[in-house]
Amino acid sequence: PIGNNNNNCQLSTVNRQLIITPALAFDRQGNRLGRGKGYYDRLLSQIEASTPIYKIGVCFPFQLLESIPHDSFDIPMDEVICS
């Protein structure tokens, strides 16, 4: 998501099976550290409310950490791919 206000974003009704998600960092449990606005967490929870989806995080090796701070509302990835 780009910009400050994505509340008007409409999701298509196409059957989704996979989403690839960027982040500043991931940990080995699939938690992601974003930019602190919760855009992806809101988007992922909205999508998963209607259909299950497999979530993949992508990162460079320096972005994969042992652990990062996370809250109960943060949506973890199912898999993290590191180049």
Catalytic residue among 35, 71, 74, 78: 74
Please, which contacts does 28-31 make with residues 24 or more away whose CB atoms are closer than 8 Å?
A: 28/64, 28/65, 28/66, 28/67, 28/80, 29/67, 29/76, 30/55, 30/57, 30/76, 30/77, 30/78, 30/79, 30/80, 31/67, 31/68, 31/70, 31/74, 31/76, 31/77
pLDDT value at residue 55: 93
Residue in 28, 32, 71, 78 annotated catalytic? 32
The pLDDT value given to residue 8: 60
32 has catalytic annotation: yes
pLDDT in tens, the chain (83 residues): 445 555 565 655 566 689 999 999 999 999 999 887 878 888 888 888 888 889 999 999 999 999 999 888 889 999 999 98
Looking at 16, 28, 41, 78, which residue is catalytic? 41
Three-state SS at 57: strand
**27 catalytically annotated:** no
